[in-house]
Amino acid sequence: METDEHAAVIRRLYGAFFSQGRVALAEELHGPGFVYHDVTHPDQVVDLDGYLKRNAEFAAAFPDRQVRLDDVVAAGDRVVARATMHATHTGDLFGIGATGKKVRLASIIIYRFAGGKIVEEWEIFDVLGLYQQLGLAPPPA
């Protein structure tokens, strides 16, 4: 699979899975043995079921979320995506009750492909910025 095809898979993931909530697409685009690495839990790796659960928690906390894919760079078996989520915090997230606040969450994700499927993902997102927007951390000085 060429790098352009890998980038197209990521565009489908963002367009249908994240923005439209088409959960079944995740099983189609992710390969067997998929592993997810999350900056909020650096010692843990999560399989596809855990990944889907995490995304369901975000969807419940931010039901109006819109995820925009800002940049996609593909090389070899890797794709790097920069994305921005705009949403309103109306549900529980990580034990934090709904605040009703609008947030903007930036992230950078590295995807690794094998056999045309996503088999590994590393995500870094602005946790501090999210907490500041929710009023849980002081704003920058």
- CATH code of residue 70: 3.10.450.50
Residue 138 lies inside a defined structural domain of this protein:
no
> Domain range holding 90?
3-133
What gap in Å lies between CA 6 and CA 90, rounded to an integer? 34
Residue 32 lies inside a defined structural domain of this protein:
yes
Residue 139 lies inside a defined structural domain of this protein:
no
How distant, in Å, are the alpha carbons of 112, 119, 125 from that of 37? Answer: 12, 11, 12
Number of domains in the chain: 1
Give DSSP secondary structure letters for 58-80: HHHH-TT-EEEEEEEEEETTEEE
Local mean pLDDT, 10-residue blocks, the chain (141 residues): 84 81 84 88 86 89 92 95 96 92 96 95 92 90 76
Residue 59 lies inside a defined structural domain of this protein:
yes
pLDDT at 54: 87
